[in-house]
Chain A
Amino acid sequence: GAVVSQHPSWVICKSGTSVKIECRSLDFQATTMFWYRQFPKQSLMLMATSNEGSKATYEQGVEKDKFLINHASLTLSTLTVTSAHPEDSSFYICSARNWQGLANEKLFFGSGTQLSVL
């Protein structure tokens, strides 16, 4: 089946530094990718919708200047957490849509990135 690769799997960084997370669709072209954040034992909260070649659409309450999203190609989207602080520590997970129309949609997830900010 389709595979989405997300790197790194985990990262520890100092407060104030920036961290980049990559999400790649390996065997299909993903016009849309989604970035979610998940706190322990909670649901996935949608942060933003990333469309290839255009600006990302951020959910209400998500700071676009802090969470920079770039979707430069049909197979790659990146999330950069700028000037990270301890409250940004979380599990970040991307997903890529293999759009086949309303009748047969597939959404594939990366393995997630555990970010810990010291």
Chain B
Amino acid sequence: AQKITQTQPGMFVQEKEAVTLDCTYDTSDPSYGLFWYKQPSSGEMIFLIYQGSYDQQNATEGRYSLNFQKARKSANLVISASQLGDSAMYFCAMRAGYSSASKIIFGSGTRLSIRP
């Protein structure tokens, strides 16, 4: 069975500081992918970053980076120089298996609030 866990229900961070959102996962499949999404109050799901299980390097997308520690089964999201607009729910997600039909499940989410 596959499982994804986010242990931080909420976080408060001062503007311009870096923030790390935790995510751990569990799967027996050697081929998997990990995602991070942002969901503002409008409800839309905004793709942030993706990491494949065979990627040698940590994924980066602008201010977002994914700290992929395979042995620990963790995929933490790092946001550098946080901005007020970063306040939102953040979800970690995983696809287990190497197939276009493999399902994608989500963690419980972390609500990030940026203080001015």
Contacts and interface: CB of A to CB of B under 8 A. Distances in A.
A44 B109 CA distance: 9
A91 interface: yes
Most buried by A among B54, B95, B98, B101: B101
B106 A103 contact: no
B108 interface: yes
B53 interface: yes
B108 A42 contact: yes
Nearest to A114: B43
Most buried by A among B35, B47, B91, B95: B47
A71 to B, nearest CB: 11
Contacts of B47: 106-109
A105 B91 contact: no
A106 B109 contact: no
Contacts of A95: 45, 104
Contacts of B106: 36, 43-46
Nearest to A97: B100
B11 to A, nearest CB: 15
Contacts, number: 67
Interface in A35-64: 36, 42-46, 49, 51, 57, 59
Given A43-B106, A91-B43, A105 B101 contact: no
B105 interface: yes
B103 A46 contact: yes
Interface in B68-104: 91, 93, 95, 98, 100-101, 103-104
A26 to B, nearest CB: 15
16 contacts: A31-B101, A43-B106, A43-B109, A45-B106, A46-B104, A49-B103, A57-B101, A93-B45, A99-B100, A103-B52, A106-B47, A107-B35, A109-B37, A109-B45, A111-B43, A112-B44
Interface of B: 31, 33, 35, 37, 43-45, 47, 50, 52-55, 91, 93, 95, 98, 100-101, 103-109
- CB-CB nearest 9 A-B residue pairs: A109-B45, A99-B100, A44-B106, A43-B108, A102-B52, A112-B43, A43-B106, A103-B52, A49-B103
